[in-house]
Amino acid sequence: MSTQPNRRAEPDLLYSEDEEALRAAVRDLLTDHCDAAGVIARVESDAPHDRELWKLLADGMGLAGLLVPEELGGQGATPREAAVVLEELGRFVAPVPYLTSAVVATEALLAADDGELLADLASGRRIGALAVALNVSAGTAYKVVRFEDGALHGELTGIADAAVADVLLVPADDGGLYAVDASAVTVTPQVSLDLTRPLAKVTLDGAPGRLLGDAEPAVRRALRAGAGLLASEQLGLAEWTLTETVRYLKERKQFNRPVGGFQALKHRLAQLWLEVVNLRAAARNAADQLATGGDDADLAVAVAQAFAAPVAVHAAEEALQLHGGIGMTWEHPVHLYLKRAKADSIAYGTAGAHRAALAELVDLQAP
Amino acid sequence: MTDAADLRRRTAELLAAHPPATTDKLDFLRARFDAGLAWVHYPEGLGGLGAPRSLQAVVDADLEAEGAPDNDPRRIGIGLGMAAPTILAYGTEEQKRRFLRPLWTGEEVWCQLFSEPGAGSDLAALGTRAVREGDGDWVVNGQKVWTSSAHVARWAILIARTDPDVPKHRGITYFICDMTDPGVEVRPLRQVTGEAEFNEVFITDVRIPDARRLGDVGDGWKVAQTTLNNERVAIGGMRLPREGGMIGPVARTWRERPELRTHDLHQRLLKLWVEAEAARLTAERLRQQLVAGQPGPEGAGMKLAFARLNQEISGLEVELRGEEGLLYDDWTMRRPELVDFVGRDAGYRYLRSKGNSIEGGTTEVLLNIVAERVLGLPGEPRTDKDVAWKDLAR
Ligand SMILES: Cc1cc2nc3c(=O)[nH]c(=O)nc-3n(C[C@H](O)[C@H](O)[C@H](O)COP(=O)(O)OP(=O)(O)OC[C@H]3O[C@@H](n4cnc5c(N)ncnc54)[C@H](O)[C@@H]3O)c2cc1C
C-alpha cells in the first residue's frame, strides 16, 4: 500500500479546523434547541421526534445533505464530517433521524445512484428510512417483502425512525430495492427501549414501489456506513456521561468530602476516560477509512463497532450508578443515555457480530 | 527554519560522506549526531537543528531506506527517554556537551537511581543523603533498588536528600552519578522471570562534584518531574504497525496451530485483538497530535492501556499453548542488557509483563494522576505536606 503515493499510510485521526467549526456550530444549535428536559417530555408524547430541531439541522445548516454530492443539492462532504455531527447528536441524545435518513438511507441511495430522491433527502424536504431491522449488520441476512404483480406485500419490524419517514427503501424478494411512499403503507409504532430512536412495524399491502436498483450492494453499503459512523454517536454519548459524572462527583458531598475524591471512584472514572480516549481513535479511524474508501474500511468499521458498544454502555451504566438515587430517576437525563447506549449496542450489529466479521477479515478463524 | 527538504538534503549528504555499507557503526552514529540529524528538534551542536520534532520521521525514513545503522534505542531507553530531556532542560552548557553525544550514540548507557526500598510510589520520601563538603562537592550515601540496567550503565540520574529539615518535596537535589565510582556497588536482583534485569545499588561515600548537579540545590523534585513525565509519554509516541505489539505472537500462534483453538479462547482473542488495535490507533492519534503541535493528555493513559493489554494477552497465550503452556523456556539466571519480549516464549512474556503495571509508576498511581490532572477530581488527603522530612514516621 505504501508504494501507492496517493494512498496515506496511516489514517488521519485528528479533527480538521473545518470539522471543529462544524462541531461548534452543531453544538451551539443543540445547546439552544435540545435540552434534556425537552427530550424527556417529547419521548413521553405521541411525537417523540423533534421535527423543529430536524428542520433547523436540515434546512438551516444543510446537514441532511452532508454526504450528498453538491450537484444534487448536497454538501459533498465525507463521512468524517458526518461523524462529527453524530458525536454532537450523541452528546445530546437528539431525537432526530440523522443517522437513519442522512447517513443510512442516503448511503443506500448513493449506491443505487438515485439523484432525485437523494436531492429530496439532502434538502430535508423528505426523510428516508431503510426498511431493514435496526439490529442487522452489513453482510448478514435481512428480511425482504414479496414483489407480486408490480406491488409489494409483507411486514417488516424493527424499522428505526419509520414513524417520521416520508419514503421507505424496501428490499424485496426479487432482489430489488424499492422506494415506497410512506402514505402507501401502514406504519405502527413499536414500544421501544430507546424512545429517542423509536422503532416501528411497516405493513405493505400491495404498496406501489419504484425500483431503485439491486438491494444487496445498497443495503450492505448503507449498513456498513451506519455501523461505522454509529461509533461516533457512541463516542459523543460516552463523553457526555463521563463529563457529566465527573462534574457531579466534584460537587456531590458525602462523609464531608466530594465523593469524587474517593479513590475507588477516581480510578473508575480514570478507567472510563481511557476507554473513551481509545474509542475516539477507533471511531475516527472508521470515519476516515469510510471517507477515503481505504482498503481497510471493513476492518476499521468492525473494530470501531466491536469496541464502541461496550464502552458506551459501560460509560452510561457507570454514570447511572455513580449518580446514586438521582441517577435512577426519570427526571435525570442519564436514562436517556443508557437506553440509547444499550440500543446502539445492538444497532447495525452487536459487538459479537462485528468480532465475527473481524475474525474473517484478519484470518483469526474460529475452531 | 529548517524544513523537510533541507533535512533530506542534509541526510543525503551524510549518507554520501559516510556510506553505511563501508562505515563503522559508531563512526556513522557520531557523524549523524554532528550533522544535527540525531534528534532534529534538539539545538544545533547538540545533535539537532532546532527543527520541528515531526521532521525526525523524514530523516529516519531516508536513513532506514539506505540501511543506515540505528543507535539501538531500546538498549539506551533510559538515557534517550529520561536523562536526555532532563539534561537538555536543566543541564549547563558543559553538561550538555559532555553527556548528550555519547548518550545518543549508545557509547554510554544510563540508568535511573530513583526508587529506594522505602520510597517507591512515594518517591519524594527518599532517604539517600547528599551532604556538601567544604570544597563544594557532595558526598552521597544510601541505597537504591529495582534499578534497571545498573549493571551496564556508565552514568545514572540520581536524586538524593540534601535538606532533611524541610518537607519532603523541597529538600531533594538532582545529580548525575558516575557508576564506575568505587563507592557504587551494583548487586543483581533476580526477578520472577528468573533473570536479573534490575539491581540493588549501594552508594557509599560516593563523591559527586558540584558540576554534576542538575538544576538548583533543593529543586530536585521539580527536575525529577521532567524525567518522570518523559518516562510516561515515551511509550505513547511509538508508531506500531497493526499486530505490532504483544498481540502479534499470539495471533500468529492462532493461525499456525489450529489444533490449539477453542471457542472460549477465540472470543477472548478477538476481544483483545480489537482492544489492542484501538490502543494502537490511540497511540497513532497521540503521535499525530504531537506532530501537529497539539499534545493531548492521552499519553498519560497509554502506559496504563499497554500494561493491561500486555498482561491479558500474554496470559491468554499461555493458556492457548495448552501442554506447552506448562513449560518454560529457561530459568537460568541471566543479566540481560534489555528486555526481550519477543525473543522469549509465552511464559516469559506472561511473567515479565507483570512488571509493566509497576515500573515507571504503578497503575494505581497513574490512575490517580489521570483522575486528578486530566479529570480534575480532588487530590488524595495529605498528612505529610507541611512536615519536615526528618519528622515523618518511617
Ligand atoms: C521491572 C521494573 C523495573 C524498574 N526499574 C526502575 C529503575 O530503573 N529505576 C528506578 O528508580 N525504579 C525502577 N523500578 C521501580 C518502580 O518505579 C517502583 O517499583 C514503583 O514506582 C512502585 O514502587 P514500590 O515498588 O515501592 O511499590 P509501593 O509504592 O510500595 O506500592 C505497593 C502497592 O501499593 C500501591 N500504592 C502505592 N501508593 C498508592 C496510592 N497513593 N494509591 C493507591 N495505591 C497505591 C501500589 O500501586 C502497589 O500496588 C522498576 C520496577 C520494576 C518492576
Q: Which pLDDT tens digit goes with each residue over A173-198?
A: 999 999 999 999 999 999 999 999 99
Instruction: Kindly indicate the confidence band of residue B234, based on its pLDDT and cuts at 50, 70 and 90.
Output: low
Q: Which of B231, B298, B312, B317 is catalytic?
A: B231
Query: Could you count the other beta carbons within 10 Å of the beta carbon of residue A44?
Result: 9
Beta strands in B171-290 (DSSP E): 172-178, 184-189, 198-208, 213-214
Report residue A331 as a C-alpha cell.
427526571
Phi and psi at residue B58, in whole multiples of 5°? -65, -45
The confidence score (pLDDT) of residue A3 equals 35
The confidence score (pLDDT) of residue B393 equals 82
The confidence score (pLDDT) of residue A9 equals 65
Whether residue A14 and residue B262 make contact (CB cut-off 8 A), yes or no, is no
Q: What is the DSSP letter of B18?
A: S
CB-ligand 1 contact for B200 (6 Å cutoff):
no
Ligand 1 atom closest to B150 (CA): 8
CA of B369 to the centre of ligand 1 (A): 14
Does the pLDDT at position B299 exceed 50? yes
CA of B279 to the centre of ligand 1 (A): 24
Does the pLDDT at position A212 exceed 70? yes
Site to substitute for ligand 1 among B121, B123, B191, B192, most atoms within 8 A of C-beta: B121
Of B269, B301, B372, the CB nearest to A277: B301
Query: Per residue in B318-332, pLDDT tens?
Result: 999 999 999 999 999
Query: Any bridge partners for residue A203, and if so which?
Result: A155, A186
**Mutate which: B58, B253, B262, B282, vs A, most A CBs within 10 A:** B282
Instruction: Kindly indicate the confidence band of residue A317, based on its pLDDT and cuts at 50, 70 and 90.
Output: very high
Query: Per residue in B351-373, pLDDT tens?
Result: 999 999 999 899 999 999 999 99
Of the candidates B134, B128, B138, the one whose C-alpha atom is nearest the C-alpha of residue B203 is B128
Q: Is A228 near chain B, with CB under 8 Å?
A: no
Does the pLDDT at position A7 exceed 80? no
Whether residue A364 and residue B270 make contact (CB cut-off 8 A), yes or no, is yes
At residue A251, the 3 state secondary structure works out as: helix
Q: What whole-number distance in Å separates Cα of residue B252 and Cα of residue B262?
A: 15
Instruction: Kindly indicate the confidence band of residue B33, based on its pLDDT and cuts at 50, 70 and 90.
Output: very high
Q: Which residues, at least 6 apart from A32, have a Cβ–Cβ distance to it below 8 Å? A: none
Report residue B20 as a C-alpha cell.
553505511
Whether residue A355 and residue B380 make contact (CB cut-off 8 A), yes or no, is no
Sign of CA dihedral B171, B176, B181, B186: positive
Q: Does the ipTM surpass 0.90?
A: yes
The confidence score (pLDDT) of residue B238 equals 62
The confidence score (pLDDT) of residue A294 equals 81
Whether residue B377 and residue A250 make contact (CB cut-off 8 A), yes or no, is yes
The confidence score (pLDDT) of residue A191 equals 96
Does the pLDDT at position B226 exceed 80? yes
Q: Which residue of B has its CA nearest to A363?
A: B255
Does the pLDDT at position B74 exceed 80? yes
Query: Per residue in B44-58, pLDDT tens?
Result: 999 999 998 878 888
Instruction: Kindly indicate the confidence band of residue B140, based on its pLDDT and cuts at 50, 70 and 90.
Output: very high
**DSSP letters for A294-348:** -TTHHHHHHHHHHHHHHHHHHHHHHHHHHTGGGGGSSSSTHHHHHHHHHHHTTTT
Pairing state between β A167-171 and A128-130: parallel
pTM of the model: 0.93
Q: Which residues of A touch B285 (CB under 8 A)?
A: 13-14, 280-281, 284
Beta strands in A135-291 (DSSP E): 146-148, 151-160, 167-171, 176-181, 186-189, 199-208, 210-214, 253-254, 257-258
**Mutate which: B277, B306, B313, B316, vs A, most A CBs within 10 A:** B277
